[in-house]
Amino acid sequence: MNKTVVVAGHKTLISTDLPFLTPFKKGKVREVYEIGEHLLIIATDRISAFDVVMDTPIPKKGVYLTAQSSYWFKELEKAGYPTHFVTDDFDEIVKITGITELNSVKDDLDGRVMLGKKAAALPIEAICRFRIFGSALSALKNSTWIWEPITLEGELEPGVKIVNGPAFTPTDKSETDEKITFEQMTELVGNDKNLALQVKELSVGIFQFANKKAIAELGFEIADGKVEYGILNDELILIDETFTSDSTRFMPDKSKEVFRQWLISNGLKGKAATIPDDVAMEVSKLYREQCQSMGITLK
Ligand SMILES: Nc1ncnc2c1ncn2[C@@H]1O[C@H](COP(=O)(O)OP(=O)(O)OP(=O)(O)O)[C@@H](O)[C@H]1O
Ligand SMILES: [Mg+2]
C-alpha cells in the first residue's frame, strides 16, 4: 500500500509500495523502479533539506517537481541535448511498459511519474553557477574555491554575478556532497579526461540554454543548480531531474532555498522538522508558482 497522509487538508504521498515492480532505488525524495531498460521515477511529496528528510511532506510537491522537470527535458530534447526522458504521460507509460497493474494506483501516481532510460549514473553532481550564493560564497570568503578562477561583476556578496558564467563547480554524490576539483571529478568518472571535459562542456551548454530561455521567455533567472549524468550505450546523457525547485535556485526564488532559510531561522537546520500547515502550504505554493512562471498547465 502506498503511504499517504493529510497535510493542511490535502492528501500527500509519503512513499510508494508497488509489489508488481522491481525496486531500483529509494532516494530522499524520489522512488525509482526498474522496468527492463526503463526506470519509473516517482516523485513523492517528501522534502529534504541539508540531507535530512522532513517529518511532514508538502502537498502536491511531487506533481510540481515532475511537471518542472518534464518541461525542461522536453525543451532540452527539442534543442538536441541527449536526455533519459521518455514520457511523463501516465497512460503512455502503461502502454510502453505493458504494466497494466499501474492503472490500479493511477490516482496516487498520475502527474508524479516519469519514465526514463536506465543509465549508469556518474557519481558526481554537475553544479553550475551564474551567481554566487551559499557554499560558493563561503568558499570565496575562506579562499577554498577549488575551481577555475572567476571574475565577479561587483563586490563579494550574495547574488553577485560571475562574469562569463556559468562557473562549473562539481561535487561528489556522497552523503555530504563534498566539493571536488576537476581532477578529482576526472578520477570519479573512471579517469576519463575526455568524459570529464564532456560533462563540463555539456553542463555549461545546458545551463546557458536554460537560463537564456528563462530570462527571455519566462521572466526568471537561474542563479545556480545541479544536473546529473549517466552513460547509456557509450553516450553521455542527462538523467535524474532538471531545473526544478528542488535542484535549482531561481531569481525570483521559488525554490527549496526559501524553505532552507525557514529551517535556519527557526533553529531547525539538519533536523527532521515537523512543518506547520501554513509553512507547508507556503512551500507548496512556491513550487506551484514556479510551474506557473514556466507556463505549465497543471491538471
Ligand atoms: N536515468 C537514470 N538512470 C540511473 N539512475 C537514475 C536515472 N535517473 C535518476 N537516477 C537516480 O535515481 C535517484 C533519484 O532519487 P533522489 O534524487 O530522490 O535520491 P538521492 O539523490 O538519494 O537524494 P537527494 O537527491 O535528495 O540527495 C538518484 O540516485 C539518481 O541518480
Ligand atoms: Mg537526487
Q: How far apart are CA 158 and CA 289, in angstroms?
A: 23
> Dihedral angle at the C-alpha atoms of 112, 212, 178, 124, nearest 10 degrees?
60
How far, in Å, is the centroid of ligand 1 from the Cα of 240?
6
Residue 157's domain spans which residues?
124-239
Domain co-membership, 162 together with 234:
yes
Do residues 179 and 134 both lie within one domain?
A: yes
238 CB within 6 A, ligand 1:
no
Asked if the structure places residue 250 within a domain, the reply is no
Cβ neighbours for 100, distance < 8 A, ≥ 6 positions apart: 94
Same domain, yes or no: 101 and 150: no
From the CA of 84, give the closest atom in ligand 1: 1
Residues 143 and 183 in one domain: yes
What CATH number has the domain bearing residue 228?
A: 3.30.470.20
- Indicate if 102 and 160 belong to the same structural domain: no
Q: For position 105, which CATH number holds?
A: 3.30.200.20
Check pocket membership of 46 for ligand 1, CB cut-off 6 A.
Answer: no
How many CB atoms sit inside 10 A of residue 47's CB? 26
| 257, 222 contact by CB (below 8 A) | no
List, in order, residues 6 or more apart from 87 with CB less than 8 Å away. 93, 96, 114, 115
Classify 40 as helix, strand or coil. strand
Residue 31 Cα to ligand 1 middle (Å): 8
Question: Which position has the grid cell 510540481?
Answer: 64
For residues 242-248, give the mean pLDDT: 97
Q: Which of 29, 69, 175, 188 to mutate to test the pocket of ligand 1 (most atoms within 8 A of CB)?
A: 29
**pLDDT tens-digit series, residues 44-95:** 999 999 999 999 999 999 999 999 999 999 999 999 999 999 999 999 999 9
Compute the average pLDDT of residues 17-27: 97
Asked whether residue 74 falls in the same domain as residue 157, the answer is no
Å from CA of 278 to ligand 2 middle: 26
CA proximity to 203, closest of 120, 124, 128: 128
> Does any domain span residue 54?
yes
Give the count of domains, the chain: 2
**Dihedral in degrees, nearest 10, Cα atoms 51, 55, 56, 60:** 50
Q: Is 84 in the pocket of ligand 1 (CB under 6 A)?
A: yes
Residue 119 has pLDDT above 80, yes or no: yes
Q: Give the chain's mean pLDDT.
A: 97
In this structure, the dihedral spanned by the alpha carbons of residues 112, 6, 61 and 256, taken in order and rounded to 10 degrees, is -150
Together in a domain, 202 and 142: yes
User: What is the distance in A from the centroid of ligand 2 to the CA of 238?
Assistant: 13
Residue 177, pLDDT score: 85
Please indicate, yes or no, whether residues 43 and 138 belong to a single structural domain of this protein.
no
Q: What is the pLDDT of residues 203-234, one digit of tens each?
A: 999 999 999 999 999 999 999 999 999 999 99
Mean pLDDT of 148-175: 96
Same domain, residue pair 109 and 129 = no
**What percent of the chain clears pLDDT 90, i.e. is strictly above it?**
97
User: Is 280 part of any domain?
Assistant: no
